[in-house]
Amino acid sequence: MAENSDAWFQRYRFCQPLGQGGMGIIYLAEDRTANNAPCVVKQLISKHSDPDEHEEAVRLFKREANMLRKFDHPGIVRFFDDHTTNDGKYFLVMDYVPGKNLESIVATYGPFNSESTVEIAIQCCEVLEYLHEQDPPIIYRDLKPSNLMLTPDGQVVFIDFGIARSFAPKQSATRVVTAGYSPPEQYFGKPETRSDLYALGATLGHLLTGQRPKPLSVSAPRHVNKQVLLTLDDLIRRMTAHNPVDRPETARDVRHELYRIYHEIHPDFEIPEEAQIQIQYLSGSHQPLRRGVMKDSANWPTSWKEQQRPQDLQAKTREHVKSVNDSRPKARTKNPPPTLLNKLKTWWQEKFKGN
């Protein structure tokens, strides 16, 4: 990067390029005003000869900056600065997220098992819930393993919001797709919130098989990896259905199903009450769930939800759960299963020991 006397550039020291995406090049930098804290600077690189294409690239880049300003969620990279130069260069500055993206992890170490995939998927659903419940809803539109960072603490973080957009029904969007992860409707410029569920399903299939999903195909990871749980395979098939109406309706519905699958793996894991009610409602039964879950089980899992999180979507539910739990006799003697977040942290430490 060429030296620049502008005061803004004096604040950041550019260390090295980290990579290049669809709209820009990404640098590792240090913020001199914050004790040289590491950060990431994304610069718009426009090689479009067509003025209209260049204008569209600039528009998307500016929209990413405006969108990131609004977000306050631990599963979304924090944006805190931007800058435009007189000669038309655009820069975004965001937190440095330690760890590795899921695509590189799979490429280096092979597929994830069902357990780790469910743990990752639940965190992804939490972020999608947050985005889809904005007013208007935000569609991420580019969910894939390379855009998901896994930190050493087991946190999944969404990065690169360059093509995310607000959802306006009956309004066509720019046709931006990633083959294998984008659903059919996105090819026609008509993405909706369930388009992100398709992309999540395709991503989970990739994590379980190590193979990039085929474009516009229903993902069936058990065809490749027989170790994939039947229930997880079934959920992924429905998430990647061609018709949006055949997919789960919301990210919350998917999260609730994932809780049930996680309970299948760890019978001691108690499904949150809100998820039990939803699952029973969808199944048409108000009887206690199968697999030994008590009808009134309401222990909220001490997972990533237990961290201090701004704008926690489940805060009210957790407060209710805590009041219920506090009123119960403490009869449980055996140790609870490891939390989802801590299990991912343990997995990370074992996987990258000595690296």
pLDDT tens-place string over residues 131-140: 999 988 999 9
pLDDT for position 301: 36
Q: What is the pTM of this model?
A: 0.77
At residue 40, the 3 state secondary structure works out as strand
Q: Which two tokens stand for residue 261?
A: 């699958």
pLDDT surpasses 50 at 192: yes
What are the sequence ranges of the domains in the chain? 8-95, 98-355
Q: Which of 21-35, 144-158, 163-177, 233-247 is the least confident region?
A: 163-177
**Among 17-31, 171-185, 231-245, 303-317, whose mean pLDDT is lowest?**
303-317
CATH class of 8-95: alpha beta
Q: What was the pLDDT predicted at 108?
A: 94
DSSP 3-state assignment of 148? strand
Pick one of 1.10.510.10, 1.20.1250.20, 1.10.150.120, 3.50.50.60 as the CATH number of 98-355.
1.10.510.10
Q: Which residue has better confidence, 345 or 337?
A: 345
With 50 as the cut, is the pLDDT of residue 328 above it? Answer: no
In sign, the C-alpha dihedral spanning 13, 38, 17, 48 is negative
Average pLDDT, the chain: 79
Phi first, then psi: give them for residue 74, nearest 5 degrees. Answer: -65, -15
Task: Write the CB contacts of 227 (distance below 8 Å, at least 6 apart in sequence).
Answer: 113, 114
| pLDDT greater than 70 at residue 329 | no
Q: How confident is the model at residue 62 (pLDDT cuts 50, 70, 90)?
A: confident
Q: Alpha carbon of 277 to those of 55, 100, 158, 271: distances in Å?
A: 49, 36, 29, 10
One-letter identity of residue 129 = E
Question: Helices (DSSP H) in the chain: which residue ranges?
Answer: 7-11, 51-70, 102-109, 114-132, 184-187, 193-209, 230-239, 251-265, 273-283, 315-326, 340-351
pLDDT of residue 48: 60
Any long-range contacts for 51-54 (C-beta under 8 Å, 24+ apart)? none
Does the structure show a pLDDT above 90 at 352?
A: no
In this predicted structure, what is the pLDDT of residue 52? 78
Torsion angle (degrees, nearest 10) of CA 127, 97, 166, 183: -70
How many Cβ atoms from other residues are within 10 Å of residue 73's Cβ?
Answer: 19
Predicted confidence (pLDDT) per residue in 262-310, tens digit? 999 999 888 888 888 766 666 655 443 333 332 232 333 333 333 323 3
Label residue 174 by pLDDT band (50, 70, 90). Answer: low
Classify 29 as helix, strand or coil. strand
Same fold: 8-95 with 98-355: no
Rounded-to-integer distance, Cα 143 and Cα 126, Å: 14
Query: Per-residue pLDDT for 216 more than 70?
Result: yes
Ordered alpha helix ranges (H), 94-229: 102-109, 114-132, 184-187, 193-209
